[in-house]
Structure 1
């Protein structure tokens, strides 16, 4: 059956493919995320670049520190990635129905990605908060549950959603860039005649999407790390509170370059990571199509 005529896979297939892809990606690239967070939490002029930060962590804290805070994102990756791809599928179909388009357009692909990112952000905030608290060099928490208990005791359950607004913008802009680029790059590439060529196309388009998404959303990620990394003091207004004012504060005090702290480890993770993500998703969906047979093929 022609690709544009085959029946869409059920929600559970998109959910499972996103989950498997997310876990694969995080196990491969997690240490870069720790390095990225450390660089973003460092105020003022950065003392270390990516390599210096990596060496400092290993030398002062041991190699295992590069995997500290792995449990929350690992638990999060399945629902997060699953939500990302399932929401992208849902919003894509919704916008195509609303506009009467029979195929995805560049404008709809960006709108769809942004909507999927906004949806995803509601799932990830508590997990991201716990991860940032554990990745901080000054962290004295015993583990994920210690963070959760401490935050709830001091700030209530809603404290776990500290940084919600910044997370919303981070995911909104990353997904818009990621999914928008995947569509554009795939359209520009020669048609894949073999499964190997299709895999290469997916990896290249996913990597380009990951790069552009990271370029667009890094300033929002820096602010999110600052908001979630800070300890709230009763009666004191946090220095970093709302996203756009915080962007201006960082730029005014540390210069525009500070908004791209951690960009190198972030892009080294998310560009090839975006490729790996799309590769695994497309491969897994292909397995589901084969297993379900016509009319999904």
Structure 2
């Protein structure tokens, strides 16, 4: 059986443009699969008690009042943005692993994976924060089928925020995003790598490159669930901040938003929308990681054939 530290898998031989390409394709697949449940999650996070009785109630009210397309409000922003976000994320993650191991082909320990994931989360926040700001504010628009929303898409909303608030309008909630991304992506990548290595040992003689789509998707699901378990209360705070009346100043706004949620709803307020988030993460993260790994394999194989 091959030693796990000697076999980096598809992601282990990445770096540079290949991470950007594979991350972009994976990001687009993630949005298409996961956006409807993300809409439910965001609406439950930003609304106070009494608006929705639970995720199913939120789903039924959204579809009844706005039609099925109401589940896809704000998708244009992440569909375009998540491709860029994921490409930056996976590139930063690969760089973080390489800096610790000294070689892009070496497999890091799970501790090194967590450090690389946390660092990637910080880098990722530069793009993720404005993308999620636009998504959250568009998802928070309510209406009825055929009615005109206040903003038809992310470009119009971005222009409005910049005109009204200047540069702060598009950097709204940046530090709340950073606070969420650090534990989220440390857990995201660690959960995936842990599961992938176990599947490789059980099914492929320790060779992760021999794993098929289903084990990769199962490993991705573990990473997705780990993401939310590690960071969900911080995600609630971020959504509330990004849907507030005006961009906050300083760094104390994160604690202030947390105190406001606790005063309104108690500790349960930090877990509103948790179940649709976890349910969404299972297929979304499965598709993300499986797509990334398979695209990386194809790119690595094509590069070897050209050499």
Q: Residues 5, 80 of structure 1: CA spacing in aligned structure 2 closer, same or farther, 3 A cutoff?
A: closer
**Contact 2:93/2:117 (<8 A) preserved:** yes
Give the corresponding residue for 2:214.
Answer: 200
How does 1:165-244 map onto structure 2 within 5 Å?
Answer: 165-189=175-199, 190-193=201-204, 197-232=211-246, 242-244=253-255
Q: How many residues align?
A: 289
Segment of structure 1 superposing worse, 145-154 or 78-87: 145-154
Confirm or deny that 1:96 pairs with 2:106. Answer: no
Q: How does 1:147-166 map to 2 (within 5 A)?
A: 147-166=157-176
Deviation of 1:253 after TM superposition, in Å, equals: 2.7
Q: Equivalents in 2 of 1:31, 1:140: separation in Å?
A: 20
Question: Post-superposition shift, 1:135?
Answer: 0.7
Unaligned 5+ residue runs, structure 1? none
**Contact persistence 1:211–1:271 (CA under 8 A):** yes
Task: Give the drift of 1:254.
Answer: 0.8
2:122 to 110, 118, 121: 118
The change in CA–CA distance for 1:107 and 1:245 in structure 2 (over 3 A counts) is: farther
Aligned to 2:22: 17
Q: Secondary structure at the match of 2:204?
A: coil
Alignment partners' CA distance in 2, 1:267 and 1:85: 21
Check whether the contact 1:165–1:242 (CA below 8 A) recurs between aligned residues.
Answer: no
What does residue 57 of structure 1 align with?
Answer: 62
Kindly indicate whether the alpha-carbon contact (under 8 Å) linking 1:181 and 1:212 is maintained by their aligned counterparts in 2.
Answer: yes
Structure 1 match to 2:258: 247
CA distance in 2, matches of 1:4, 1:65: 42
3-state SS, counterpart of residue 170 of structure 2: helix
Instruction: State the Cα distance separating 1:292 from its structure 2 match.
Output: 1.1
Deviation per CA, 1:230-276, whole angstroms, max 9, x where unpaired?
1229xxx79x9622342233123311111011111111111221111
Structure 1 residue aligned with 2:145: none
Tell me by how many angstroms 1:78 deviates: 1.0
CA contact (8 A) 1:113 1:172 kept: yes
Kept in 2, the 8 Å contact 1:192–1:198? The answer is: no
Deviation at 1:183, TM superposition (A): 2.1
- Check conservation: 2:173, 2:238, Cα contact below 8 A: yes
Question: Which residue of structure 1 aligns with residue 132 of structure 2?
Answer: 128
CA contact (8 A) 2:73 2:138 kept: yes
Deviation string 1:24-72 (CA, Å, 9 cap, x unpaired) is: 1111221111111111111235632111101101111222111111111
Q: Which runs of 4+ in 1 moved over 6 A?
A: none
- For the Cα contact (< 8 Å) 1:72–1:127, is it kept in 2? yes
CA contact (8 A) 1:106 1:183 kept: yes
> Structure 1's 71 and 12: CA in aligned 2 closer, same or farther, altered over 3 A?
same
Which runs of no fewer than 5 residues in structure 2 stay unpaired?
Answer: 1-5, 143-148
Partner of 2:3: none
Taking structure 2 as the reference length, the TM-score comes to 0.85
1:258-297 alignment to 2 at 5 Å?
Answer: 258-293=269-304
